[in-house]
Amino acid sequence: MYGIIHHPSTPNGGLIMMFNIGLHYRVCHSRLFVRQARELQRAGFIVARFDTSKVGYSQGELASGRAIDSFDSIQTGLFQSDARLCVSYLKGKLNPRRIFFWGLCGGALTAIITAAKDKDIDGVIFVAGPVTVTSADFELSHLHPFDANILILGYIKRILNPAAWLRFLSGKTSYRWIFRSLKVKLLSKIPHHKGELANDNETVTGENKGDRFNGVFLESFDIIVKSGRPIFFLIPELDQATYDFERMFAGPILSRYTDFAGYFSIAKVPKANHTFSTAESTLKLFALTGQWLLKGIDLDAKAK
Amino acid sequence: MEISFNFTDVNAPNPAIREQHGYLLRNGKHLFSAEFLPQSKPMAGIVFCSPFGEEKIRTIRIYVSFARALAAMGIAAICFDYFGDGDSEGDFEEASFEDRLADIDSVYRQFGDKHSLDKMGLMGLRWGGTLAAIAAENLNPEFLILWEPIIDTQKYFFDHLRINLASQMLIEGKILKNREQLIKELEAGKILTVEGYNLTGGVYFKARDCGLKDRKFDFRGKSLIVQIASNTEKMRPELLGLQQALVGSEITAVPREFEWEKTQTWQPAPPLLFGETIKFLKKNGFLGRNI
């Protein structure tokens, strides 16, 4: 495996490990990881970005095919052994006082699943991670409620537009998409996910996994907060994953964890998409990440 | 010429290859580089020029796979990041169009000197191909490989602004500024964020105006143009035009085995594209043995 380590001029004792998004390499969309790493480096953290095996510059091979076919295995821990190997190497090499994981999308799952199994990890920043397990067939054949909402909002915005009505009445509108989005919107109002803890194999590995809650995620969350380690959920407002996060996890499940409320927090970044590709949302992401991590380091310093 | 290729294990650990990852210096700027070297003296060397923005992120694995494949066959290959891009120093908006060409020039010369390479080539996908072709005029390499190069950069960069419009639609629910207005802002010196990259007018206008369409080339090396498109029966006129401009160049077509505008297919080592390119290298004497 190959990666980059950012060394700060004045180290604060913290090491941040960043986990790549799905099959994309350590630079990430719009160089987000490079920019985030430099921000944290300036704040005194050592930051490591690496390519998990089979991705970017690292060795190993995933079979070719549809990219979506590998998402479920990433979401349930495909890269956890790579992550553990890197942590072990960096601990020996850098001897950090505190170690935090930072992961985006599939990388958020790598982060939380690995941290659950390694008590030396002091906390996790879970950014825009899906709480579902992807099924390619389901994903490709179903309209997500988040996308249905966007379509419906678009129709509503055009409701007073004569040109839109002309297209509608002359048969140029896609009626199929109108009805499909309305149907999905209505069906999404029906609660149907209990979000049981793992061990229920069907939750993770049963057929038709799409839109199914990721039990491995919940199990990992459970282990981490019950061991007194913090998790920071950073969720972008304009993202399918956030829709699922709120509907399937934050709403129905987090109320069971009131005894551990001090160990998790959620921040929603307004007007941000899945990869925080606007300047404003990127700055907000960096600011929230930095504040949370520096708090963790300061608390530790006081305790010592 | 019948050559069989198997690229399914090209990224497996290979004792016949040495990999050296690090930074090169160009005018004090640190440029990330990854060298893929055969254990014996290389028969030739090749510099891979990256595509633009997200197209690079989506296709990096193909470059890495091909670099490993070539190193296994005796060709030294180097992937690098332009200043302000990838793992290199600087911010995207700091890098000018001329910086990219200077980076290619510098990496080409340093790589050649370091490994005493007698024969060298440039290769690029999409806008990386465009830059490779432009850089070839100064560097005069022995060979030039262009994978689906951008010919009409006017259209390419104008179309690129559409991504900003899509972002406006998602975030604001409507288009607040159309492409003509965005271009006016670039002219006025504003920075535009497109797909997360901060684009300056300096880069936009230079990159837009410096294309391959109707360009007269002063390049006499061997060159290969590969059209990557679903229709392999018919060559696009713009690529045929480029073939005319590049004296003695070859042109071939392969189907689309991967995408650069989205991540739908995971194909880290597209066999047809790699196969056609290796055939060209072999036919022209840059390769001595098969993998």
Q: Please state the three-class secondary structure of B74-127 as a single string.
A: CEEEEEECCCCCCCCCCCHHHCCHHHHHHHHHHHHHHHHHHCCCCCEEEEEECH
Cβ distance of A32 and B196 shorter than 8 Å:
yes
Q: How far is B258 from chain A (nearest CA, A)?
A: 10
**Looking at A64-78, A265-279, B226-240, B266-280, which range is the least confident one?**
A64-78
**Residue B135 vs residue A148, higher pLDDT:** B135
- Region A128-149 average pLDDT: 78
Q: Are B226 and B277 within 8 A, CB to CB?
A: yes
Residues of chain B found within 8 Å of residue A68, distances taken between Cβ atoms: 264
Cβ distance of A30 and B265 shorter than 8 Å:
no
Asked if A28 reaches chain B (Cβ–Cβ under 8 Å), the answer is yes
Q: Are A55 and A23 within 8 A, CB to CB?
A: yes
In the predicted structure, residue A297 carries a pLDDT above the cut 80: no
If phi > 0 it is left, if psi is from -120 to 50 it is alpha, else beta; for residue A205 that is alpha
d(CA B288, CA B38): 12
- Region B40-49 average pLDDT: 96
Residues of chain B found within 8 Å of residue A56, distances taken between Cβ atoms: 60-61, 64
Write phi, then psi, for B96 (nearest 5 degrees).
-90, 170
Asked if A60 reaches chain B (Cβ–Cβ under 8 Å), the answer is yes
Q: How far is B102 from chain A (nearest CA, A)?
A: 21
If phi > 0 it is left, if psi is from -120 to 50 it is alpha, else beta; for residue B241 that is alpha
In the predicted structure, residue A208 carries a pLDDT above the cut 70: no
Determine the pLDDT at residue A181. Answer: 73
d(CA B4, CA B6): 7
- Nearest beta carbon to residue B9 from set A2, A61, A69: A61
Cβ distance of A278 and B198 shorter than 8 Å:
no
Q: How far is A288 from chain B (nearest CA, A)?
A: 18
Q: Which residue has the tokens 């990224």?
A: B11
pLDDT band (50, 70, 90) for residue A197: very low
Cβ distance of B197 and A24 shorter than 8 Å:
no
d(CA B130, CA B148): 9
pLDDT band (50, 70, 90) for residue A301: low
pLDDT band (50, 70, 90) for residue A165: confident
Cβ distance of A55 and B34 shorter than 8 Å:
no
Q: What angle do CA A144, A148, A153 make, to 5 degrees?
A: 150
pLDDT band (50, 70, 90) for residue A211: low
d(CA A289, CA A297): 12
Asked if A182 reaches chain B (Cβ–Cβ under 8 Å), the answer is no
Residues of chain B found within 8 Å of residue A70, distances taken between Cβ atoms: 266
State which amino acid sits at residue B95: A
**Looking at A28-42, B68-82, B98-112, B253-267, which range is the least confident one?**
B253-267
**Residue B32 vs residue B175, higher pLDDT:** B32
Q: Are B5 and B282 within 8 A, CB to CB?
A: no
Hey, what are A65's tokens?
């095919």
- The average confidence (pLDDT) of chain A is 86
Interface-testing mutation among B61, B199, B274, with chain A (most A C-beta atoms within 10 A):
B61
**Residue A61 vs residue A138, higher pLDDT:** A61
Cβ distance of A31 and B196 shorter than 8 Å:
yes
Asked if B115 reaches chain A (Cβ–Cβ under 8 Å), the answer is no
Cβ distance of B268 and A62 shorter than 8 Å:
yes
In the predicted structure, residue A220 carries a pLDDT above the cut 90: yes
ipTM: 0.93
Q: How far is A154 from chain B (nearest CA, A)?
A: 7
In the predicted structure, residue A240 carries a pLDDT above the cut 70: yes
Hey, what are A141's tokens?
């054949």
Asked if B168 reaches chain A (Cβ–Cβ under 8 Å), the answer is no
**Looking at A267-276, B64-73, B84-93, B168-177, which range is the least confident one?**
B168-177
Hey, what are A87's tokens?
């942590």
In the predicted structure, residue A202 carries a pLDDT above the cut 50: no
Nearest CA in chain B to A56: B61
pLDDT band (50, 70, 90) for residue A298: low
- Nearest beta carbon to residue B266 from set A60, A65, A273: A65
Residues of chain B found within 8 Å of residue A38, distances taken between Cβ atoms: none
Query: Which range has highest mean pLDDT (A178-187, B172-181, B229-238)?
Result: B229-238
Asked if A226 reaches chain B (Cβ–Cβ under 8 Å), the answer is no
If phi > 0 it is left, if psi is from -120 to 50 it is alpha, else beta; for residue A78 that is alpha
**Residue B129 vs residue A138, higher pLDDT:** B129
- How many cross-chain Cβ pairs, A to B, lie less than 8 Å apart? 100
Residues β-bridged to residue A265: A232
Task: Let me know if B6 is exposed, middle or buried by CB neighbors in 10 A (0-12, 13-18, 19+).
Answer: exposed
Determine the pLDDT at residue A299. Answer: 54
pLDDT band (50, 70, 90) for residue B2: very low
- Nearest beta carbon to residue A279 from set B53, B173, B193: B193
pLDDT band (50, 70, 90) for residue B82: very high
In the predicted structure, residue A207 carries a pLDDT above the cut 50: no
Q: Which residue has the tokens 């399918």?
A: A240
| Residue A256 per-residue DSSP state | G
In the predicted structure, residue B254 carries a pLDDT above the cut 70: yes
Nearest CA in chain A to B169: A154
Q: How far is B197 from chain A (nearest CA, A)?
A: 5
**Looking at A90-104, A194-208, B135-149, which range is the least confident one?**
A194-208
- Region A83-89 average pLDDT: 95
In the predicted structure, residue A75 carries a pLDDT above the cut 90: no
- Nearest beta carbon to residue B167 from set A32, A68, A277: A277
In the predicted structure, residue A168 carries a pLDDT above the cut 70: yes
pLDDT band (50, 70, 90) for residue B289: low
Residues of chain A found within 8 Å of residue B31, distances taken between Cβ atoms: none
CA A247 to chain CA mean position, Å: 15
Cβ distance of B57 and A70 shorter than 8 Å:
no
Nearest CA in chain A to B265: A66
Cβ distance of B263 and A24 shorter than 8 Å:
yes
